[in-house]
Structure 1
Amino acid sequence: MIPIFGQTIDDTWEPIFNGSDLEQWNVPEDNMWWSIENGTLWAKSDPDKIGSILWTNKTYTDFVVQLDFKFGEGVVDTGIYMRGDNRKNVQVQIGISGSLKKDMTGAPYVPTLGYPVEASGVEALLDQKGWNTIRAKTVGNTYTVWLNGIEVMNYELENANLKGPIGLQLHPGNEMTVQFRNIMVNEL
């Protein structure tokens, strides 16, 4: 078992990024956004700032996903899609919200609602230059997020989409880079 910020990673956790390939992910055919360097997954904007979403091949119901992220250059606007991309799902924000023009790390974004709640205490927890660990849990309609081991958000979305893939977003319209590592999931 590996303790991370007081939380445990045991053999119920499955790595979904092994540091050497994207075999467990559905990579866009014309991929120019996602690359691997020294065991780290990089997301980098293309010249036209089209953006991209990297989806897991597998779909999930109730789960916890955890990953490390590090902000790079530009205005980082990224996040973790929880159970697909539609009007009844949550994307856990990482970085600056394009619509609000402020850091909304840990907050849920719902297409029909915007940001219904803001994560608490993020400014004191977030390392702007180093690695951070985010853990996002979804059980039924309830979403909970921890940042660097501290719970920062709990939200219930009525009529949430209850099954779908996990996605990593590189938001369109921005010039940015962001790194991910230690991406793992625990199905509940």
Structure 2
Amino acid sequence: MTRCLLLASLFFSGLAAAEPEKIFNGTGLEGWNVKGATYWTAADGVLKGESDDKKQGSILWTDKSYKDFTVELEFRFSGDVDSGVFLRGEADQIQIGTSRSKKRDMTASPYIGPKSGYPQEAAGVKELLKEGDWNKMKIVAKGGTYTVSLNGKQVVEYVSDTAKESGPLGLQIHPGVKMKIEFKNVTVEGI
């Protein structure tokens, strides 16, 4: 009997360890640091980035670094926003909202800074994106391969030759635009 309990305990503790880590606690910015303007607040389970008339840039970075991972989050915006999720540093990003260079929505598309643009556009986003409502994004980063799903449907798989091996995750408010974006249920899981 004792042996069965010990085995069951080990089995279930292994399952618990496999759960994604909440990297936003719903009430504060613990575990994060701001680079740029202090536009980020947290309350009632929602992480909000809202710029002002100065339209400065701001990135909210995780204190931790990640190698291969799956990040899942929900985001909501309406109107003109330029945001995204930085992957292991500022070079590679998955866009949320309107690209300043393309002048159109490029949500879920990879933006690769060293290439100065979008090497591949996410497919079917116009039909999937719910502006003004919560959207769910899943990004799997394994080496330089980024697989992105929006609201349960895979929309892009891209292989980056500029991907860093390890680094923090970041949430962006792009300079030059007055905007508001909200995030919730932000989790990451190592793979």
Q: Structures share a fold, TM > 0.5?
A: yes
Q: Which has the larger radius of gyration?
A: 2
1:140 is matched with which residue? 143
**Structure 2 spans left out of the alignment, 5+ residues:** 1-16
| Larger helix percent | 2
Given the alignment of the two structures, is residue 14 of structure 1 paired with residue 21 of structure 2, yes or no? yes
**Structure 1 spans left out of the alignment, 5+ residues:** 1-9
2:84 is matched with which residue? 79
Percent sequence identity is: 47
| Larger strand percent | 1
Count of aligned pairs between the two proteins? 174
2:112 is matched with which residue? 110
When residues 30 and 171 of structure 1 are mapped into structure 2, their CA distance, relative to the original with a 3 A threshold, is closer
One-letter code aligned to 1:26: N
Deviations 1:39-83 (A, max 9, x none): 2111001321112000000000000111100004x4111000000
Q: Give the Å deviation of 1:18.
A: 1.0
Q: Secondary structure at the match of 2:70?
A: strand
Task: Supply the distance in 2 between the matched residues of 1:136 and 1:184 (Cα, whole angstroms).
Answer: 11
One-letter code aligned to 1:64: T
Q: Give the Å deviation of 1:27.
A: 3.2
Q: Give the Å deviation of 1:162.
A: 1.3
Task: Supply the distance in 2 between the matched residues of 1:167 and 1:29 (Cα, whole angstroms).
Answer: 12
RMSD over aligned CA atoms reads 1.5
Deviations 1:89-113 (A, max 9, x none): 3200000001100110000001122
2:93 is matched with which residue? 91
Task: Supply the distance in 2 between the matched residues of 1:154 and 1:22 (Cα, whole angstroms).
Answer: 31
When residues 18 and 117 of structure 1 are mapped into structure 2, their CA distance, relative to the original with a 3 A threshold, is same
Preserved CA contact (<8 Å) 2:63 2:168 = yes
1:6 is matched with which residue? none
Preserved CA contact (<8 Å) 2:83 2:95 = yes
Map 1:150-161 to 2 at 5 A: 150-161=153-164
1:38 is matched with which residue? 44
1:165 is matched with which residue? 168
When residues 171 and 186 of structure 1 are mapped into structure 2, their CA distance, relative to the original with a 3 A threshold, is same
When residues 120 and 30 of structure 1 are mapped into structure 2, their CA distance, relative to the original with a 3 A threshold, is closer
Q: Give the Å deviation of 1:157.
A: 1.0
Normalising by structure 2, we get a TM-score of 0.87
Q: Secondary structure at the match of 1:27?
A: strand
Task: Supply the distance in 1 between the matched residues of 2:166 and 2:145 (Cα, whole angstroms).
Answer: 13
Q: Secondary structure at the match of 2:127?
A: helix
Q: Give the Å deviation of 1:150.
A: 0.3
Q: Secondary structure at the match of 1:164?
A: coil
Q: Secondary structure at the match of 2:113?
A: coil
Task: Supply the distance in 2 between the matched residues of 1:186 and 1:63 (Cα, whole angstroms).
Answer: 5
